[in-house]
């Protein structure tokens, strides 16, 4: 990845043009313009994604892979063309490596149950990190309960960076899988995934990357990362909810048994024997989210049209600006200050609960997330119950950071600080 300083930061007119692609950003909230800083939870959708959904239902709605009629062929073509576009976006070797799922959570559960569970033995180890989202903890705990495998956790330092030396030490004879987040939703840390993967592969250990937060912020090239599995959600990269992707190397998918049974995932069924479909359909039981898949491809087309570099440069600039602005506010403590960070800012305010901060900011139309961000172990690591999280997207501006800082000043007034 190029350093962002080497790429021109887009001018405010360009960002204003990007903003105008997102109709919801024109909403007023409690009489104030919406300041949407909860992109880590879900991003807003550009018109092209909304239009793709509408066009699907107006012109091609039918079930896929089943009908002999015109609409079914159209829907199937669009659905499979979307898969090919998604494969190109993440630089997969082929469309068969893209499995449609509901989102990151389902993708990780699929790998846990279909890849790991059949091969895990008592005492085998699954290596994750201390900054994981619950979606990258609990599926492995379930496999541990089911097989007797044990979970090992790589620590992080006070800045929120992964302890790579500890990772090297923890990669052992019994490690069966590494599952690591690309960008932490609670801290913003960007992990050196390519390096971690090559260290794991040197010991013959496959790697799953939780890319839920990375997709909107970084260019993702699964072959450059050389990971075995990469999971992401459409709704966090300007696409719809209810659709996501498990990228998996074809040889891995071929070797894995189906996870769920039903229609779509079979070639033939008799009561004696069922022959499974080829990959990726072997993992797609039941009628899929056809419209969602097509709209997800539209979202990735949107990101491609702008380009990862301008988005990265803009967000890096915004992160630097917001970090400096929040550091200047008395009684604010930033949680997560790793050198490699995406545009996610977690912080706490002395003697004010994060929920109170979030509620008061909402009165000014400012949407942030307040809570544990489904990463309770991260909260425990920092000794806090919750943080306030401002997470940025390509359409956020310096003026919105200023509004956040003013909002925090109002909160401090309310609490007599």
In the complex, least distance from residue 370 CB atom to ligand PMP, rounded to whole angstroms: 14
In the complex, least distance from residue 288 CB atom to ligand PMP, rounded to whole angstroms: 16
Q: Is 374 in the site for ligand PMP (CB under 6 A)?
A: yes
What is the dihedral sign for C-alpha 283, 284, 289, 290?
positive
Q: Is 104 in the site for ligand PMP (CB under 6 A)?
A: yes
* φ/ψ bin of 330: left (φ > 0), alpha (ψ from -120 to 50), beta (otherwise): beta
Q: Using CB under 6 A, which of 44, 109, 135, 189 touches ligand PMP?
A: 135
| Region from 100-108, 142-150, 287-295, 325-333 binding ligand PMP, contact rule CB under 6 A | 100-108
Q: Using CB under 6 A, which of 109, 113, 197, 233 touches ligand PMP?
A: 233
| Region from 53-61, 130-138, 302-310, 360-368 binding ligand PMP, contact rule CB under 6 A | 130-138
CB atoms within 10 A of CB 309: 16
**Which residues are 334's β-sheet partners?**
347
Nearer to ligand PMP, 75 or 212 (CB): 212
SS3 370: strand
CA pair distance 326, 345, nearest whole angstrom? 9
In the complex, least distance from residue 213 CB atom to ligand PMP, rounded to whole angstroms: 5
CA pair distance 413, 417, nearest whole angstrom? 6
Q: Is 133 in the site for ligand PMP (CB under 6 A)?
A: yes
Nearer to ligand PMP, 38 or 124 (CB): 38
In the complex, least distance from residue 217 CB atom to ligand PMP, rounded to whole angstroms: 11
| Region from 19-27, 167-175, 210-218, 272-280 binding ligand PMP, contact rule CB under 6 A | 210-218
Q: What residues have CB less than 8 Å from 9, skipping those under 6 apart?
A: 313, 314, 317
Given a contact cutoff of 8 angstroms between Cβ atoms, the answer to whether 237 and 300 are in contact is yes
**Could you give the string, one character per residue 162-191, with x where binding to ligand PMP holds by CB under 6 A and - elsewhere?**
-------------------x---x------
Please report, for residues 99, 216, 220, 288, the alpha-carbon distance to residue 285 in angstroms, rounded to integers and kept in the order given: 11, 28, 27, 8
CA pair distance 97, 149, nearest whole angstrom? 27
Token pair of 70 as six digits = 């015109």
Specify whether 291 is catalytic: no
Catalytically active residues are 374
Interface residues with ligand PMP (CB under 6 A)?
Answer: 103-105, 133, 135-136, 181, 185, 210, 212-213, 233, 374
């Amino acid at each position: 990845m190029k350093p962002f300083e080497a790429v021109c930061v887009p001018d405010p007119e360009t960002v204003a043009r990007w903003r105008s692609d997102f109709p919801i950003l024109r909403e007023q909230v409690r009489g104030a313009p919406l300041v949407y800083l909860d992109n880590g939870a879900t991003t807003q959708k550009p018109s092209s994604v909304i239009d793709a959904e509408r066009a699907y239902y107006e012109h091609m709605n039918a079930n896929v892979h089943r009908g002999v009629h015109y609409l079914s062929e159209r829907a199937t073509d669009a659905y499979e063309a979307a898969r090919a576009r998604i494969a190109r976006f993440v630089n997969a070797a082929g469309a068969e490596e893209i499995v449609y799922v509901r989102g990151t959570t389902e993708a990780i559960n699929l790998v846990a149950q279909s890849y790991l569970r059949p091969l895990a033995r008592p005492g085998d180890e699954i290596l994750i990190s201390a900054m994981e989202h619950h979606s990258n903890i609990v599926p492995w705990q379930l496999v541990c309960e089911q097989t007797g495998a044990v979970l090992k956790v790589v620590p992080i330092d006070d800045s929120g960076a992964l302890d790579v030396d500890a990772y090297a030490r923890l990669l052992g004879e019994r490690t069966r899988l590494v599952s690591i987040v690309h960008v932490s939703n609670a801290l913003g840390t960007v992990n050196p995934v390519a390096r971690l993967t090559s260290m794991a592969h040197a010991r013959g250990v496959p790697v799953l990357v939780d890319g839920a937060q990375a997709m909107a912020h970084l260019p993702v090239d699964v072959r450059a990362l050389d990971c075995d599995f990469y999971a992401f959600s459409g709704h966090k990269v300007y696409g719809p909810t209810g659709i996501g992707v498990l990228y998996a190397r074809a040889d891995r998918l071929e070797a894995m048994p189906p996870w769920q049974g039903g229609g779509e995932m079979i070639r033939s069924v008799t009561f004696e024997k069922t022959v499974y479909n080829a990959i990726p359909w072997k993992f797609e039981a039941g009628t899929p989210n056809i419209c969602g898949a097509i709209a997800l491809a539209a979202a990735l087309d949107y990101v491609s049209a702008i380009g990862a570099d301008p988005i990265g440069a803009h967000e890096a600039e915004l992160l630097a600006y917001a970090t400096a602005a929040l550091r200047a506010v008395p009684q604010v403590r930033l949680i997560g200050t790793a050198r490699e960070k995406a545009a996610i800012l977690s912080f706490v305010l002395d003697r004010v609960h994060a929920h109170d901060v979030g509620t008061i900011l909402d009165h000014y139309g400012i949407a942030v997330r307040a809570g544990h961000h489904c990463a309770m172990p991260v909260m425990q690591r920092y000794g806090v119950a919750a943080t306030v999280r401002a997470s940025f997207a390509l359409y956020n501006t310096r003026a919105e950071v200023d509004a956040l800082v003013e909002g925090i000043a109002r909160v401090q007034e309310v609490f007599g600080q």
